Amino acid sequence: MTVKHELLRLLSIKNVARYTEIKEELGRPDRTIYVTLLELQKKGLITKAKDKHGAYILTDLGILELAKLNEIKQVCERYDALIEEIKHKEGEMKA
């Protein structure tokens, strides 16, 4: 899972999170978190909550992006499972 995906997922769970909470939860380097937050803000996926003292929240666009990333992850997992199943069947045919 990418830092972007992790961060969006974290905000969807917590609804609102301050920088220190995000850094602590993700356990990633400070610069990585900072750059990712800036990128997500520029893309309109997150914003700072006005009444939560600068904490970050997901925007509607961020919610849609997270749904897309989750769907892609599921497709990749199904693909990997199919590849393993094919390898297993090929192994059985050789034996």
Residues 6+ apart with CB under 8 A from 5: 66, 69, 73
Q: What is the pTM of this model?
A: 0.76
- Give the fold, CATH level 3, of 3-94: Arc Repressor Mutant, subunit A (1.10.10)
pLDDT of residue 94: 76
pLDDT of residue 95: 66
Q: Write down the domain spans for the chain.
A: 3-94
- Residue 15, SS3 per DSSP: coil
pLDDT in tens, 6-63: 999 999 999 999 999 999 999 999 999 999 999 999 999 999 987 767 799 999 999 9
pLDDT at 64 over 90: yes
pLDDT confidence band for 1 (50 / 70 / 90)? confident
